[in-house]
Amino acid sequence: MDTRYLFKRHNTWWIKVAVPRTLRDKLGYDLRESLKTHDLTSAQEKRWKIVDKFRQKIEEAKLKKVPNKEEKAKHVENYMPPTNTTDPQYYHKIVDCQYACPAHTPVPEYIRQISQGNYTDAYMINWESNVFPGILGRTCDRPCEPACRRNRTHEKPVAICRLKRVTYDFKGDISQRLPEVPKKKNGKRIALIGAGPASLTVARDLLVLGYECILFEKDPQGGGLMRTNIPSFRLPVEVLDEEVNLVLNMGVEARFNTEVKSMKELLKEDFDAIFVGTGAPKGKDLQIEGREEADKNIFIGIDWLTSIAFEHTTSVGKKVVVIGGGNTAMDCCRSSLRLGAEDVKVTVRSPFDQMKASEWEKEEAMDEGIPIHENHVPKRFVMNNGKLAGVEFEKVEAVFDDNGKRSLVPTGEEPVIFECDDVLMAIGQDNAFHWIERDIGIEFGEWDMPIIDRVTFQSTHPKVFFGGDAAWGPENIIWAAAHGHQAAISIDKFCQQKDLFERPEPGANLVSQKMGIHEWSYDNDVSQAKRFIVPHADQSISLKDLKVEVELGFDEQLALEEAQRCLNCDVQTVFSEDLCIECDACVDICPTDCINFIQNDEEEELRANLRIPALNLDQDILVSENLPTQRVMVKDEDVCLHCGLCAERCPTGAWDMQTYLYEEAKVYNQT
């Protein structure tokens, strides 16, 4: 996905061009303009004209600007300083997938383990970072994949998420590899409310340090939304049970079927800290004409999915209308099919490409023959003889104002009525904090959400921490895991009476991959294979049974080939000035023209002066110390393939390929 200069705001693509530092007082920090489209392809088409216009504007401003003496004299001081590669974030940022992952899972590291057949090692790398590799490998929202370098160098990203699943599917026995939980406890008791991914992560991290974790869950089993909201054709119960139980069996004192009804009461109990991981469990409702009369046949999506998960619901009407365009809507429509519905429709207010559901979820629903009706706003429930007969929709179109703000304007066409027996409402989720009294020191802010510190996850009541969807509204599982790790660190610091804002440093380690003159311990040949598609179960079977998993996952051969597509972005090109003889060999061999030996300058100019200008400002440039010829080496990190040819053609070893292992600090391995 080529999104250079593009960003999304209110579902609309905008252009943003950075303004050089010297012109910011005149032009502002950047120049931006709405492309008035939600479609990426047409945004890409419109892009360059506007980028050129902005560039010209910047050029004109440069000409107008008369440099005064002081500014000229300052010039040399404004030259790019040598890049500080000892900052752990520099090389981390180059590993695009890991940097984009909220839990900072070392993706290339586990993918290499997969290609070597070390599935168990690969699984443990994941488990350490994100706690639920088997679950996430099937359900993750994959923020890593749009970030993947392959989007910039080839076409499609590595199937990172499905490779994560591979680590689960082919792993061996892990019981010996789990961290040891001390028998002797440290005397601190932590209450965890809600048995979803956030709480389970907190529990796992804290148990290792000897904390006692007491988990409260209103449902009879753990897993939270992973169990109640994700249907088993996407996430088999066995996978869920295995990974949830892995944590529970580490010694969590789980109190199922126990709903915490009053925070005030809980605070009176003997807990050293309380973690709230209750998610966003309240499905939104729609109050339109006929809502009350038709109540018997209208179901709130997430509640309905929950009752399926616990097998309270086993059937649905023949004709079903799903209202909403998120992933819950997709799960609802596909579940309906499996419960015997014959005619299932999804209706969504917005245009198709602005739906909240992930691309792949929409594709799978449509693959199963479910139509998605875009631009349909529900107006009333149509009754017949006191029974729900259909839903009436108004047809709209999306119109954008100059700020790119969208409004849905009726087209004036005749309203449409879709006949149905049941309606499933999947139009969003809210938090539900009715059980937290407002006079106990937990302050609430906008939208009745608790005020939580972004770094420490602490609420205004020092003992109470929040994480997962409960903290800032619906996100996804990987965020919950990331929150859990951080909250665990905070809870530990709080219980040990340390400063919560002193966050532990990440682990960062560079190791040379050189094995011989031109041999590396990683496979540096760049695979030109296209992204491999995950095989699916035969629909004649999968559509009949709620429990048959649709995706079959990669087999070992496909996994190996997909793993080979990884560019090993964590194998860093490390440059040592004192060894360089400026022979240009690296410049000549680099397939993507990343390397330059040029006169230093201010960042803006330096980026523009490279052999191929470094226009992607999201990606850093590596600048060396001054070299003997008074030039500097500048490497644009943007499309480096990490093929190691620079290091292979370097006669002095000034370039070396070194694996960078960045490990986000956990509460139990703080340095």
Partner 1 sequence: MTYIKKPLNHHPNLEINELGLTRRDYEGQVSSLCAGCGHDSISAAIIEACFQLSLSSHQIAKLSGIGCSSKAPAYFLNQSHGFNSVHGRMPSIGTGANLANHELLYLGISGDGDSASIGIGQFVHAARRQLNMTYIIENNGTYGLTKGQFSATNDKESKSKYGEENLFPSIDLASLAIQLGAGFVARSFSGDKEQLVPLIKAAFKQKGFALLDILSPCVTFNNHNTSTKSFDYIREHNEALSRTDFVPLGKEIKVDYQPGSEIEISLHDGSRLRLEKTSSGYDPRNRKMAVNAIQDSIEKGNVLTGLLYINEDSNDLKEILNLTDTPLNKLSEKELCPGSESLKKINESLR
393 and 289 Cβ atoms separated by less than 8 Å = no
Nearest approach, Cβ of residue 566 and partner 1 (Å): 14
Of 175 and 629, nearer to partner 1 (C-beta) is: 629
DSSP per-residue letters across 388-432: EEEEEEEEEEEEE-TT--EEEEE--PPPEEEE-SEEEE-S-EE--
Segment interacting with partner 1, rule: CB under 8 A, options 20-28, 219-227, 352-360, 592-600: 592-600
Of 172 and 613, nearer to partner 1 (C-beta) is: 613
283 and 303 Cβ atoms separated by less than 8 Å = yes
Residue 267 in tokens: 């605070």
- Does position 629 interact with partner 1 (CB under 8 A)? The reply is yes
Please state the length of the chain: 671
Strands 464-466 and 273-276: parallel
Nearest approach, Cβ of residue 582 and partner 1 (Å): 7
Of 234 and 607, nearer to partner 1 (C-beta) is: 607
Residue 218 in tokens: 């209103």
Of 322 and 645, nearer to partner 1 (C-beta) is: 645
Segment interacting with partner 1, rule: CB under 8 A, options 33-41, 325-333, 401-409, 636-644: 636-644
Supply φ then ψ for residue 484, to 5 degrees. -55, -45
What is the C-alpha to C-alpha distance for residues 107 and 530, in angstroms, rounded to an integer? 19
Q: What is the side-by-side order of every strand in the sheet holding 273-276?
A: 253-255, 212-216, 189-193, 273-276, 464-466
Of 397 and 588, nearer to partner 1 (C-beta) is: 588
Nearest approach, Cβ of residue 17 and partner 1 (Å): 15
507 and 661 Cβ atoms separated by less than 8 Å = yes
How far is residue 390 from each of residues 6, 136, 290, 310, 342, measured CA to CA in Å?
41, 37, 10, 28, 15
- Does position 615 interact with partner 1 (CB under 8 A)? The reply is yes
Nearest approach, Cβ of residue 606 and partner 1 (Å): 16
Instruction: Single out the residue of 238, 285, 448, 588 in contact with partner 1 (rule: CB under 8 A).
Output: 588
Strands 514-516 and 273-276: unpaired
Of 541 and 598, nearer to partner 1 (C-beta) is: 598
DSSP per-residue letters across 3-49: -TTEEEETTEEEEEEEPPGGGHHHH-SEEEEE---S-HHHHHHHHHH
- Does position 589 interact with partner 1 (CB under 8 A)? The reply is yes
Nearest approach, Cβ of residue 108 and partner 1 (Å): 17
Residue 77 in tokens: 């001081």
627 and 617 Cβ atoms separated by less than 8 Å = no
Segment interacting with partner 1, rule: CB under 8 A, options 257-265, 400-408, 504-512, 519-527: 519-527
CA count, 13 A, side-chain hemisphere, 148: 23
Segment interacting with partner 1, rule: CB under 8 A, options 27-35, 106-114, 283-291, 588-596: 588-596
Q: Identify the DSSP state of 298.
A: E
- Does position 153 interact with partner 1 (CB under 8 A)? The reply is yes
Burial of 494 (0-12, 13-18, 19+ CB in 10 A): buried
Q: What is the side-by-side order of every strand in the sheet holding 621-623?
A: 595-598, 632-636, 621-623
Q: Identify the DSSP state of 313.
A: -
DSSP per-residue letters across 603-649: HHHHHHHSSS----TTS-EEE-PPPTTS-EEEEE-TT-----HHHHS
Sequence letter at residue 262: S
Size of the site for partner 1 (CB under 8 A): 36
Instruction: State CA 87 to chain mean position distance.
Output: 24
- Does position 154 interact with partner 1 (CB under 8 A)? The reply is yes
- Does position 519 interact with partner 1 (CB under 8 A)? The reply is yes
Segment interacting with partner 1, rule: CB under 8 A, options 37-45, 334-342, 344-352, 521-529: 521-529
Segments of 551-611 assigned E as strands:
571-575, 595-598
- Does position 3 interact with partner 1 (CB under 8 A)? The reply is no
**Contacts with partner 1, 309-338, as mask; x by CB under 8 A:** ------------------------------
- Does position 650 interact with partner 1 (CB under 8 A)? The reply is yes
How far is residue 39 from each of residues 322, 349, 354, 355, 374, measured CA to CA in Å?
24, 17, 8, 12, 15
Of 254 and 643, nearer to partner 1 (C-beta) is: 643
- Does position 608 interact with partner 1 (CB under 8 A)? The reply is no
DSSP per-residue letters across 318-336: SEEEEE--SHHHHHHHHHH
43 and 353 Cβ atoms separated by less than 8 Å = no
Instruction: State CA 571 to chain mean position distance.
Output: 23
Nearest approach, Cβ of residue 2 and partner 1 (Å): 8
Strands 30-34 and 12-18: antiparallel
**Contacts with partner 1, 522-541, as mask; x by CB under 8 A:** --xxx-x-------------
- Does position 649 interact with partner 1 (CB under 8 A)? The reply is yes
Of 40 and 639, nearer to partner 1 (C-beta) is: 639
Nearest approach, Cβ of residue 657 and partner 1 (Å): 13
- Does position 569 interact with partner 1 (CB under 8 A)? The reply is no
What is the C-alpha to C-alpha distance for residues 31 and 141, in angstroms, rounded to an integer? 31
Of 451 and 579, nearer to partner 1 (C-beta) is: 579
Which string of b and e fits 143-178 if b means at least 16 CB within 10 Å? Answer: bbbebbbbbbbbeebbbbbbbbbbbbbbbeeeeeee
- Does position 59 interact with partner 1 (CB under 8 A)? The reply is no
Residues in region 77-116 near partner 1 by CB under 8 A? none
- Does position 591 interact with partner 1 (CB under 8 A)? The reply is yes
Of 344 and 590, nearer to partner 1 (C-beta) is: 590
- Does position 593 interact with partner 1 (CB under 8 A)? The reply is yes
Segment interacting with partner 1, rule: CB under 8 A, options 76-84, 353-361, 408-416, 576-584: 576-584
What is the C-alpha to C-alpha distance for residues 397 and 409, in angstroms, rounded to an integer? 5
Instruction: Single out the residue of 24, 498, 518, 536 in contact with partner 1 (rule: CB under 8 A).
Output: 518
Nearest approach, Cβ of residue 235 and partner 1 (Å): 36
Nearest approach, Cβ of residue 54 and partner 1 (Å): 17
- Does position 26 interact with partner 1 (CB under 8 A)? The reply is no
Instruction: Single out the residue of 18, 408, 583, 608 in contact with partner 1 (rule: CB under 8 A).
Output: 583
- Does position 592 interact with partner 1 (CB under 8 A)? The reply is yes
- Does position 445 interact with partner 1 (CB under 8 A)? The reply is no
Instruction: Single out the residue of 131, 436, 563, 643 in contact with partner 1 (rule: CB under 8 A).
Output: 643
**Contacts with partner 1, 473-512, as mask; x by CB under 8 A:** ----------------------------------------
Of 574 and 639, nearer to partner 1 (C-beta) is: 639
Instruction: Single out the residue of 648, 656, 663, 664 in contact with partner 1 (rule: CB under 8 A).
Output: 648
Instruction: Single out the residue of 399, 584, 599, 618 in contact with partner 1 (rule: CB under 8 A).
Output: 584
Is residue 671 classed as helix, strand or coil in its secondary structure? coil
CA count, 13 A, side-chain hemisphere, 240: 25
Site residues (CB under 8 A) for partner 1? 2, 152-154, 518-519, 524-526, 528, 581-585, 587-589, 591-594, 612-613, 615, 628-629, 639, 641, 643, 645, 648-652
